[in-house]
Amino acid sequence: MDALHEKKQKLETYLKELGSVAVAFSSGVDSTFLLKVAKEVLNDNVFAVTAKSCSFPGRELSETKAFCKKEGIRQIIVESEELDIDGFRQNPKNRCYLCKHELFTKIGNIAKENGVKYVVEGSNMDDLGDYRPGLQAVAELGVKSPLREAKLTKEEIRLLSKEMDLPTWSKPSFACLASRFVYGETISEEKLSMVDQAEQLLLDLGFHQVRVRIHGDMARIEILPDEFPKLVSEEIREKVTSKLKEVGFSYVTMDLLGYRTGSMNETILKDGKN
């Protein structure tokens, strides 16, 4: 058995030892893979919990429902309105901690109500290299991270997902829309909607990996460098600019470094505050 499949076997063994789990499910690459393997290993001793909120696009929620229905997995939708959490709207540097603590507390209560022993989430080994305050909440609440236990990286999860014919194996990475705000800038329903509409437009135009970061009334678009020519072509440039101004942005810019995860964390990491 090669190293990749040894890791998958370790994941399966770990899940068997847990016995029953509630999976925090967002329809992303990692949580979809984790949910699928958990279902194969634990059968009816697993269910999915998905948070519905204004920072979670409707398309993603629909994908969670479709996947669970297809796989015969019980799903519970929980209302998790981050904007009601004390301090969240002010977008402090520990914003993700506040959100994850609230969410996983709710999932933990749901697990107990359903006689399930553990809550599990989909962070992988690559998540350890960035500023991830949400992992502090995971640790404090005793939430399990099976993919990290198995030492699986994002690329390995994609490879195994492809083998398993999961539709998410090549899905672009996604994070909640609140991550598009520079720290300290107030998060509102209106601005979340602006970001959501802007990113949906870019996806509809065929861009693969997109982020629209919001800085006041300015949009900073991040896309893959090899798609730069498409964005700056006259027709697409005008369409994007027009639509983003229509939804509320005054200025529309393109980041010359292109798409990268956690670009809003770069100033924190530079200051050594991780």
Contacts of range 69-76, beta carbons closer than 8 Å, 24 or more positions apart: 71/35, 71/36, 71/39, 72/39, 73/35, 73/39, 73/46, 73/47, 73/48, 74/47, 74/48, 75/25, 75/47, 75/48, 75/49, 75/50, 76/47, 76/48, 76/49, 76/50, 76/110
Question: In the prediction, which pLDDT does 261 show?
Answer: 72
CA–CA distance, 198 with 194 (Å, rounded to integer): 6
Question: In the prediction, which pLDDT does 274 show?
Answer: 41
Q: Is the pTM of this model over 0.75?
A: yes
Question: In the prediction, which pLDDT does 174 show?
Answer: 87
Question: In the prediction, which pLDDT does 271 show?
Answer: 54
Could you give the domains of the chain?
3-163 (3.40.50.620), 177-268 (3.30.1340.30)
Q: To which residue do tokens 């135009």 refer?
A: 205
Question: In the prediction, which pLDDT does 266 show?
Answer: 63
10-residue averages of pLDDT along the chain (274 residues): 93 98 97 98 97 91 97 95 90 90 94 96 86 83 96 97 97 91 92 96 96 96 97 97 98 95 60 48
CA–CA distance, 110 with 116 (Å, rounded to integer): 8
CB contact at 8 A, 246 and 193: no
